[in-house]
Chain A
Amino acid sequence: MTANVTMRRKKFRWGPILVLLLTMFLALIFLAPVFFALISAFKSNGEILKNPMALPSSFYLKNFQDLFEQSDFVTAIKHSLILTVVSELLIVAIVPMAAFAIERRTSRGMKLIYTYFLAGMMIPFHLYMFPLFKQMRLFGIYGTLGGPIICYLSGSVAFGSLLYCSFLKGIPLEIEEAAQIDGCSPFQIFWQVTFPLLGPCTASMVVLNGLNIWNDFLMPYLVLPSGKAKTITVEVFSFVGQYTARWDIVFAGTVCSIVPALVIFVLLQKYFVKGITAGAAKG
């Protein structure tokens, strides 16, 4: 927002300063709850209750000690990691190949399949979750980590093929044709020539989709066997009911959920932005 035209003659302009102050104020509101969660994990319950926004008085790690002693949080972390990493690996193994076939073939059948895939974006998970669980029992994956993984994989086909198809349009065919003349099979062409060029797209897909899996609640909550630790998100949820008087422990759990996502975001920011805008441009 630029300053008024009448201000133009003066050297000093208030406009940019006001914009900065307003932006700072809003950024403060956006960050305060996150900051509150992070500092509370390093404070005792008494300290949290006394002054929620004060910094921890010492480097206090008892919450984490209690968290790992009183619950099977290690298993929860392990499950969250397995679900996220294995799902993403499988998604990258399957979805770009499908998008490649759709984008490089102009047949009507492929067009139809693409439309069929995109339709999946309209269907809310809650609509089909009850029959889905039945389907999972039928395949013997209900109650195992394989259950959510298969569902995340299936659920990523719609958005994934949209994202990969839009990136594939920008990759020149000449390179692939040259590889074909050199005697490469379609499989080799894709994995050795095209796929490496899709790096930014893969990164965007993995960070956005991986974040959703890392943060997912309902699927692991309902699918993984009860009575045992499930995932970080599910554990935090059950702590809220269980430790109503021990917010400090719950905050230690929330830090384990937030920090990995935050670190990935700081390292790979531009891929978040690329993925969101590429998805929106066609979505």
Chain B
Amino acid sequence: MTKKKGGIDTAAVAFIAPAFILYTLFIIVPAFSSVYYSFTSWDGISPVVKFVGLANYREIFTSARFGNALRNTVILTVFISIVENALALLLALLVDHVKWFKNFFRSAFYVPVLISGIVSGFIWKIMYNYNFGAINSLLTSIGLGEWKQDWLGNPKLTLLMVGFVLIWKGAGYYMIIYLASLQSVPTDVVEAAAIDGASPWQRFKTITVPLISGAFTINFTLSLINGLKVFDQISVMTDGGPGFTTETVVYLLYKVGFNEGRQGFGTAVGIVLLFIIIILNAVQQKFLKSREVQL
């Protein structure tokens, strides 16, 4: 497909038109109408849309429920991003160094990624069960019976318990990215450092980490965005409870929009969420990008 001089490039237009039209109609137009609806008291059904100015935003920033949801979201997201990345890097290092069954282990760590959010939430809900769950029976059988808990019923623990499920489900994905990055680190540099007497830890810290910093940036960005968007596991495991202890911003958005028929308010929450994503992303990019090293 080489370019003709002058005139409209009909072939190119025809090639791109279907994607362009669909993307515009079903993503961009709704996204922009969200901005409009966030200034209304729209209930999602009635054709009458009443303009309420900044009332939704005022409510967001003054309501205790949103404050609570925001706190839960931040705790969950920070917890997931840090633990998930540390674990994914460990898994990648192990798979990279293990001498036997490399491919098997790589697949094994990836398997939870294949499972849907709903199904993974259900499996763990059963495993967390007080009377019949695998976690408590395991604790009993190794003599730690006094640690038995109602894992999802204890308001202090629930959010972290949901977080563990997300980490278990997501780590394999980030492992693949770390692994590809580790495999691109030139071995001669590492070997040269070893000959110069650098310990494994020194080699890891001063050679490997700077060279895989691009993967850190990508993985932290992805895990952050995914953490902010968690929905499926919460809906099947806790429904935001006990009380409001696992109600996140996205879950609040869903509940007010569908259960309480306040879609205008819901979209306003969505707009705030987008700004949170953009701001966190910018801060993180600035922090991580400045540490990236290219060979």
Co-assembled chains A and B? yes
9 contacts between A and B (CB under 8 A): A19-B99, A30-B111, A97-B15, A105-B12, A128-B30, A130-B270, A136-B26, A190-B1, A250-B122
> Is A272 engaged at the interface, CB distance under 8 Å to the other chain?
yes
Q: Which has the most chain B C-beta neighbours within 10 Å: A124, A180, A257? A: A124
Task: Contact check, B1 vs A186: say whether CB atoms are below 8 A apart.
Answer: yes
> Is A36 engaged at the interface, CB distance under 8 Å to the other chain?
yes
Q: Which has the most chain B C-beta neighbours within 10 Å: A1, A120, A130, A247? A: A130
> Hey, which chain A residues are within 8 Å of B34, CB to CB?
127-128, 130-131
> Is B163 engaged at the interface, CB distance under 8 Å to the other chain?
no
> Hey, which chain A residues are within 8 Å of B37, CB to CB?
130-131
The CA-CA distance from A262 to B108 in the complex, in Å, is 11
Task: Contact check, A132 vs B30: say whether CB atoms are below 8 A apart.
Answer: yes
> Hey, which chain A residues are within 8 Å of B281, CB to CB?
122
> Is B132 engaged at the interface, CB distance under 8 Å to the other chain?
yes
Q: Beta-carbon contacts of A169-193 to B below 8 Å, as 1s and 0s?
A: 0000000110010000111011000
The CA-CA distance from A128 to B2 in the complex, in Å, is 38
Which 10 residue pairs of A and B lie closest in terms of their CB atoms, listed nearest first? A215-B116, A98-B19, A127-B270, A154-B26, A186-B11, A101-B15, A128-B30, A131-B33, A131-B30, A277-B180
> Is B18 engaged at the interface, CB distance under 8 Å to the other chain?
yes
The CA-CA distance from A186 to B13 in the complex, in Å, is 12
> Hey, which chain B residues are within 8 Å of A155, CB to CB?
26-27
The CA-CA distance from A48 to B123 in the complex, in Å, is 12
Task: Contact check, B15 vs A26: say whether CB atoms are below 8 A apart.
Answer: no
Task: Contact check, B111 vs A31: say whether CB atoms are below 8 A apart.
Answer: yes
Q: Beta-carbon contacts of A202-232 to B below 8 Å, as 1s and 0s?
A: 0000000001001111100010000000000
> Hey, which chain B residues are within 8 Å of A5, CB to CB?
197, 199
Instruction: Return the chain A residue nearest B251 by Cβ.
Output: A126
> Hey, which chain A residues are within 8 Å of B229, CB to CB?
124-126
Interface size of B in residues (CB-CB distance below 8 Å): 96
Given known contacts A19-B97, A37-B119, A250-B122, A177 and B2 CB-to-CB distance under 8 angstroms: yes
Query: CB within 8 A of B173: which of A27, A37, A269, A276?
Result: A276
Task: Contact check, A254 vs B30: say whether CB atoms are below 8 A apart.
Answer: no
Majority secondary structure, B binding face: helix
Q: Beta-carbon contacts of B114-136 to A below 8 Å, as 1s and 0s?
A: 11111110111111000111100
Instruction: Return the chain B residue nearest A123 by Cβ.
Output: B31
Chain B residues at the A interface, C-beta cutoff of 8 Å: 1-3, 9, 11-13, 15-16, 18-20, 22-23, 25-31, 33-34, 37, 42, 44, 90-91, 93-95, 97-100, 104-105, 107-112, 114-120, 122-127, 131-134, 137, 168, 172-173, 176-177, 180, 197, 199-200, 215, 218-219, 222, 225, 228-229, 231-232, 235-236, 250, 253-254, 257-258, 263, 266-267, 270-271, 273-274, 277-278, 281
Instruction: Return the chain A residue nearest B107 by Cβ.
Output: A269
> Hey, which chain B residues are within 8 Å of A125, CB to CB?
229
Query: CB within 8 A of B200: which of A2, A23, A95, A222?
Result: A2
Instruction: Return the chain A residue nearest B29 by Cβ.
Output: A135
Interface size of A in residues (CB-CB distance below 8 Å): 100
> Is A145 engaged at the interface, CB distance under 8 Å to the other chain?
no
A93 to chain B, nearest CB (A): 8
Q: Which has the most chain B C-beta neighbours within 10 Å: A51, A131, A176, A237? A: A131
A217 to chain B, nearest CB (A): 5
A250 to chain B, nearest CB (A): 6
> Is A240 engaged at the interface, CB distance under 8 Å to the other chain?
yes
Task: Contact check, A280 vs B123: say whether CB atoms are below 8 A apart.
Answer: no
> Hey, which chain B residues are within 8 Å of A277, CB to CB?
176-177, 180
Query: CB within 8 A of B109: which of A26, A52, A211, A215?
Result: A26
The CA-CA distance from A236 to B278 in the complex, in Å, is 34
> Is A273 engaged at the interface, CB distance under 8 Å to the other chain?
yes
Task: Contact check, A237 vs B235: say whether CB atoms are below 8 A apart.
Answer: yes
